[in-house]
Structure 1
Amino acid sequence: MQKNEKKEIIWKVVQEQIIPKSNNHLEVFKEMQKNCPLLEHATYRILAGAPRKAKKLLTVGISSAQHSHGSYLLDTLKSLFHASSLHELETMVVVVHLSDQDPAWLSQTVTNISVLFASHIEAHNLFVVQGLLGGSPLQKENFSSPCGELYSRQKENYALLMNFASKLSDYFLLMEDHVRCSPSFVSTIYKALAAWKEFHWVILEFSDLRFSGKVFHSSDLPRLISFFLLFTMDPPTHLLLSNFSFLVGQSVPISFVPDLFQSWGNNFTSEDTCYQEEEKEKTLDTLPNNPLAHVYTNMASANNHLPEDAYSLSPRFFQTPFVFEGHEYTLIFNRNYKVIQIEIVTGFGTQGIYQLEHGQVELGYEPVENKKGCARYTLLGPLVKGKFHQKVHYDKDFEEEVRCVRVLVTAAQVSYLCITQIRIWV
């Protein structure tokens, strides 16, 4: 594909994002994919371990290279396996793609992994590969800057990793080689996947890090690979990821809180100079704002636990004896706000007694006069095991502030429901 053709397609992508009424994202992407070089020349060597034929639920993919400032790859793997139970390990496989060509580094790295993680390799939970593109056009680019070379190398390495992993499991988790994993991160991701099963999504984000913590459908990986190999230098790799989700119909990022993955150290990567923004977003205030709001619900109160109690930032809670599909709990603010994070907790304890079993959170716009809600709502996401904790993202060019936040019941349940906590950051 010629450079002017690439620019024309990027312009189409930009136009699609600027004009939200136009919903031709997928058609634009099909045009890109049709003209994009694929991994026809890719070859792989398995350096340690071997995959099983049985398909897993999740592949954890890590691409690693030699770093002048040292490596956290072994620490990352230690953290990953330490944070995972035996049951979780049975449902996933870890693929490490070593992208550096230095034979001494390759040999030492493979030896270290083989010794430290022998049990996981024997159990087919971990294997190490090296992929090469051979005569692919990617290797024939002339780079005008170190950043252009970095972007190209990143896209090539991620493309090779994803290409190898695309048929190993139903879902793919991308991780960098310098992260710490939160305990039971696999179960947390599985719960979110189950809750989002009936909703359209492209990328679920479980970390603020630029690449780590992003979960994909494995069936989407071939298209993402095509996208990476179409634009071999600019734009930066993480921006292509954002554009990819737009192209296949996800209008805003879906970001869960708290982060499941953190970097081992600040300023770890020497690549930061190639990026304009910080690796981590600014930390939100510890305390929520919970701006003044009128509470509307068509649920009955029980045992003197009122609807307002759940929003009061106190130990009090709202209780109702039954809920049906279409029941709602709605906050109507006294003015418009830019809501940046929402946390909703239903039920009690680790067992989730009296939690909302089927529900979703929506953002509302244009309040109606009778204070029963808003005229228009957009879906933010479903509750996961009775809880909801997500960031709210906005399109920079079309930023409409929120007037309502609604919890909508999507199926009846016979037990009591308790909404124990609602926290809003604005």
Structure 2
Amino acid sequence: MKLGNITKYTCFRRLSNVVTFFAVCITVLYIDRMYTDDRKDCQKVFQVEETLKKEIQVSSVQDEFAQAKLNLKELPKQQLHPFSVKEMTDALPIPYEYLLGTPPTKKRYLSIGISSVKRKMQDYLMGTIHSIFGLSSAAEREEMLLVIYLANTDPAVNKQAVNEIAGLYRSHVDAGSLIVICSSMEAYPPLSGLKRNFQDSEDRVRYRSKQNVDFAFLVNFCAPLSEYYLMLEDDVVCAENFLTAIKNSLVNRDSSWTTITYSKLGYIGKLYHAEDLPKLARFLLMFYDEMPGDWLLEHFHQSKAQPEIIRIKPSLFQHIGTFSSFESIEKKSKDDEFSELAINSESLPPASCFTNLEVHEQYDPVNVCQGGSLYFWGKSVEAGKSFTILFKASVDIKKITIATGASEYPGDILYSGYVQFGRMRDEVLNSCKMFNNVGPFQNGRFELSPVDGSLGARVDCIRIQVTAPQKEWLIIKYVRI
């Protein structure tokens, strides 16, 4: 090839490459522009779709709201239920079952609440009930109402307890002074899978949480029944005339208090205004799984601006339980400030005391005649045995009270016997020649007021006569006239 032709060919190739390059660039720009326009168009479509969706949703909500307003207008007026603060302070609508007795038609001065679970080792409930009624006067019993909340999860166990209570204390049920209730476990909040605060075991957490709910259900029930509410446990004994002692302690006391206690142990002897009970019930339920109930009771009075609990001494209630209801753990907590005599009482007129019962150790008959903290304690109690008080001079009896049993031995009462007034003292026989029957013992206690004028005038002797044998020993705690 000639040099000129080579030069021409080279120039042509270079020109062709330039043209090809520009053609490729134009093509790429065109394609990019085309896809860019498509993307913009797609974005516009997507934006339109989103706008339509929002408009549809807004329209739907507006339609539903309009329909709701229409339905609201169509509702009967009685279905409209505005919020009321009063409802928050009323008793909770907890379902209860009456196992024994019914609420009295008239409010009492004091309702006493006991939540009870049957213990495996030893049960104390019957002795506690006996102490409450047995150590109260007839006038005091008319002012009180005892509510037993059976918190056993087995209905058969509750039924057994009800039968026992009915057999021993039917007279108090008929008098409207004793009610036994329970509630369904379906009404309880969860009791498993709870927080294990204070490194408590799962069983311990369940036990104390259920106990808090038990107490909440009990105080809620008692809210409308009385002016004041007293919390007790099911293993205590009471001081003589404890209700009168409570009333005396409230005289001239400012009513702004939240909690007054008549014992330094646990739940025992806590007194509340009945109007505070719905709040206490809600408080216990709100924190039922957080901590033990006696701690919650401390927080409750603090939350109502009472920084320290008010304690009344001497204590009116003593703990007698040896085994707790939780895993039958042995405990021997005692209140060393407990006094069996809550109020001062007059001693007997000068007299001598005699018995044909076998005397136990130093618990001689003279203890009854001298008064004080000691008492008579006899054994081998059989029909025909007796205890006689021979006065130095004739007395005019207008009222008489005789108590048997003691806090440490509540079963050592006179189960079958009666009281006699005697005249014509016989110094040789240490007795009287003539006796008149006055009345029988009931649940280990005798009380008569007022005494008929002709019956109580010029009495020389008082005789306690045993009419049936009993396996228990007999304690005569005091005779007051």
Q: Is the 8 A contact 1:37 1:229 kept in 2?
A: no
Q: Which moved more, 1:99-108 or 1:214-223?
A: 99-108
Tell me: CA distance 1:278–1:252, structure 2 relative to 1, closer, same or farther (3 Å): farther
Q: Which moved more, 1:137-146 or 1:228-237?
A: 137-146
Q: Which moved more, 1:198-207 or 1:58-67?
A: 198-207
Q: C-alpha separation between the residues in 2 aligned to 1:41 and 1:349? A: 45
AA paired with 1:238? D
Matches within 5 A, 1:2-401: 42-132=94-184, 134-139=186-191, 141-142=193-194, 144=196, 145-196=202-253, 198-265=254-321, 267-269=322-324, 271=326, 279-280=333-334, 283=336
- Give unmatched runs, 5+ long, in structure 2: 1-84, 197-201, 338-343, 347-481
Q: Which moved more, 1:101-110 or 1:166-175?
A: 101-110
CA drift at 1:139:
4.5
CA drift at 1:273:
10
Q: C-alpha separation between the residues in 2 aligned to 1:93 and 1:38? A: 21
AA paired with 1:258? P
Q: C-alpha separation between the residues in 1 aligned to 2:204 and 2:263? A: 24
Q: Is the 8 A contact 1:171 1:218 kept in 2?
A: yes
For residues 300-349 of structure 1, the C-alpha deviation after alignment (integer angstroms, 9 at most, x for no partner) is xxxxxxxxxxxxxxxxxxxxxxxxxxxxxxxxxxxxxxxxxxxxxxxx99
For residues 67-117 of structure 1, the C-alpha deviation after alignment (integer angstroms, 9 at most, x for no partner) is 112210000001111111100011111100001022321121101100100
For residues 270-318 of structure 1, the C-alpha deviation after alignment (integer angstroms, 9 at most, x for no partner) is 54999xx99457x58xxxxxxxxxxxxxxxxxxxxxxxxxxxxxxxxxx
CA drift at 1:121:
0.4
Tell me: CA distance 1:86–1:235, structure 2 relative to 1, closer, same or farther (3 Å): same
Tell me: CA distance 1:253–1:49, structure 2 relative to 1, closer, same or farther (3 Å): same
AA paired with 1:269? S
CA drift at 1:49:
1.0
Question: Higher helix proportion, which one?
Answer: 2
CA drift at 1:135:
4.6
Task: Normalising by structure 1, report the TM-score.
Answer: 0.54
Task: Normalising by structure 2, report the TM-score.
Answer: 0.48
Q: C-alpha separation between the residues in 1 aligned to 2:127 and 2:334? A: 20
Q: C-alpha separation between the residues in 2 aligned to 1:268 and 1:183? A: 25
1:317 aligns with: none
Tell me: CA distance 1:255–1:43, structure 2 relative to 1, closer, same or farther (3 Å): same
Q: C-alpha separation between the residues in 2 aligned to 1:111 and 1:143? A: 38
2:340 aligns with: none
AA paired with 2:284? F
AA paired with 2:313? V
Q: C-alpha separation between the residues in 1 aligned to 2:115 and 2:215? A: 7
For residues 6-37 of structure 1, the C-alpha deviation after alignment (integer angstroms, 9 at most, x for no partner) is xxxxxxxxxxxxxxxxxxxxxxxxxxx99x99
AA paired with 2:171? S
Tell me: CA distance 1:208–1:61, structure 2 relative to 1, closer, same or farther (3 Å): same
Q: C-alpha separation between the residues in 1 aligned to 2:145 and 2:325? A: 29
Q: Is the 8 A contact 2:122 2:323 kept in 1?
A: no
Q: C-alpha separation between the residues in 2 aligned to 1:46 and 1:101? A: 16
AA paired with 1:108? Q
1:339 aligns with: none
Q: Which moved more, 1:128-137 or 1:183-192?
A: 128-137
Q: C-alpha separation between the residues in 2 aligned to 1:152 and 1:127? A: 25
- Root-mean-square deviation (CA), in Å? 3.2
Tell me: CA distance 1:167–1:160, structure 2 relative to 1, closer, same or farther (3 Å): same
Report percent identity of matched pairs.
32
2:459 aligns with: none
AA paired with 2:179? F
Q: C-alpha separation between the residues in 2 aligned to 1:186 and 1:70? A: 28
- Structure with larger Rg: 2
Tell me: CA distance 1:153–1:38, structure 2 relative to 1, closer, same or farther (3 Å): farther
CA drift at 1:124:
0.4
